[in-house]
Structure 1
Amino acid sequence: MPTIVIASPKGGAGKSTAAVLLGTELAHEGVPVTMLDCDPNRSLTLWASQSALPDNVTVLSDITEADIVRTIKAHDADGQIVVVDLEGVASRLVSRAISQADLVLTPMRATTLDATIGARALQLIAEEEEALDRAIPHAVVFTMTKAIRSKQHKGIESSLAGQGVDVIDPPLMERAAFSGLFAFGGDLHSMPAQGNMQAARDNARAFAIQVYKRLAGEG
């Protein structure tokens, strides 16, 4: 089954949040998910330590450059999805993970700085595509967005579309429940209420559906 790699050279872009939301929403729908924590900040490991993991979710920590490919292949079993949360730098580990991906997601805030640095992730993907002589499906997801999109957001989105970059809609909004996951653990269906929980669940589910459609070739 597919491997989804969450990659951005910029710290604070929302990689771990996207990984947890995606993994837990897929698991909530009955899909077994293995999540690999490859980030030195160990955000997934912190999340996993707060409470019992949701059903169908396994988290593996301290994955290194030496064992990233082997670990992905060991857990890329039928009926299972692997979600890889990477460090916020351009590194050999990141490149090796991208080489194994069925889909690469690049989270970014709707700012010029994030878009500029996020473009480096797209370049890394292009380099791996050239080295492997195969296309690696990839998409951008905006994170921590506001209900009303700014001119800057619209401009960045338009620029990406003009370059032929796939942008997932809906973006992940700025929600108390999303940040609360790392304080309470669990998922949006089990954690204590933080803000508008139904809106958060709807946002996360719609995001997960769009990712799944891309895995199925429907994006």
Structure 2
Amino acid sequence: MPTIAIASPKGGAGKSTTAVILGTEIARAGVSVTMLDCDPNRSLSLWASRGTVPERIQVFGDISESDIIKTIKQHDRDGQIVIVDLEGVASRLMSRAISQADLVVTPMRATTLDAMVGARTIALIQEEEEALGREIPFSIVFTMTKAVRSKQHSGIYASLREQGVDIIEPELMERAAFASFFEFGGDLASMPAQGNIANAQDNAARFAQAVMNRLLKGLARD
């Protein structure tokens, strides 16, 4: 089954939150998920320690550059999805994980700095594509966004579209529930209600479905 790498060579873009949202929503849909915590901050491991890990999810940490490919292949089994939460720097570990990915998702805040860093992620993926001789599907998701887009947000969105970059919609909005994953653990169905939990649940479910649609499209093409 597919491997999804959550990659951005910048901290604070929402990588771990994106990984948790995606992993928990896929698991709630009945698919087994292995989550690999490759971020030195160990955010996924913190989330897993805060409460009961949802059914059908396994979390593994302390994965190094030397064993990332072996670990991905070990868990890349039929009926299971692997999600890799990568460190917030451009590194050999990131490149090795990207080389195994069926889809790379780059969380990005709607700022000029994040857009510039996102371009570095695209360059890393293109380097791996050239080395491997295969296409590595790549998508951006805007994170921590507001209901009303700023001019900066709209400009970055339009620029990426003009460059042919795939942008996942819906964006991941700024939600109290999303920020609470690392306080309460669990998923959006089990945590104490935070803010407008119904809207957060809807946002998360539609985001996960958009990612799965891309994976299924890629698998059908292969």
Residue 136 of structure 1, CA deviation: 0.2
DSSP-derived class of the 2:167 partner: coil
DSSP-derived class of the 1:97 partner: helix
Aligned 1:195-214 pairs, distance under 5 A: 195-214=195-214
Residue 52 of structure 1, CA deviation: 1.1
Paired position in structure 2 for 1:8: 8
Establish whether residue 148 from structure 1 lines up as the match of residue 153 from structure 2.
Answer: no
- Tell me the alpha carbon deviations over residues 91-117 of structure 1, each in whole angstroms, 9 at most, x when there is no partner: 000000000000000000000011111
Paired position in structure 1 for 2:41: 41
Establish whether residue 161 from structure 1 lines up as the match of residue 158 from structure 2.
Answer: no
* 2-structure distance, mates of 1:4, 1:155: 28
* 2-structure distance, mates of 1:100, 1:150: 36
Paired position in structure 1 for 2:191: 191
- Tell me the alpha carbon deviations over residues 47-96 of structure 1, each in whole angstroms, 9 at most, x when there is no partner: 00001100110000111101000000000000000000000000000000
* 2-structure distance, mates of 1:93, 1:135: 19
Letter paired with 1:11: G
Residue 186 of structure 1, CA deviation: 0.1
* 1-structure distance, mates of 2:180, 2:29: 21
Letter paired with 2:66: A
Paired position in structure 1 for 2:104: 104
Letter paired with 1:36: L
Paired position in structure 1 for 2:89: 89
Letter paired with 1:146: K
* 1-structure distance, mates of 2:82, 2:101: 9
DSSP-derived class of the 1:11 partner: coil
Paired position in structure 1 for 2:216: 216
* 1-structure distance, mates of 2:63, 2:179: 24
Paired position in structure 1 for 2:77: 77
* 2-structure distance, mates of 1:149, 1:127: 33
Letter paired with 1:118: G
DSSP-derived class of the 2:66 partner: coil
Letter paired with 1:171: E
* 2-structure distance, mates of 1:157, 1:130: 27
Compute the TM-score of the two structures, normalised by the length of structure 1: 0.99
* 1-structure distance, mates of 2:96, 2:213: 24
* 2-structure distance, mates of 1:70, 1:42: 20
* 2-structure distance, mates of 1:73, 1:167: 28
Aligned 1:107-118 pairs, distance under 5 A: 107-118=107-118
Residue 20 of structure 1, CA deviation: 0.1
Letter paired with 1:184: F
Letter paired with 1:57: I
Compute the TM-score of the two structures, normalised by the length of structure 2: 0.97
* 1-structure distance, mates of 2:171, 2:41: 24
Extract unaligned runs of 5+ from structure 1.
none
Residue 118 of structure 1, CA deviation: 1.4
Letter paired with 1:69: I
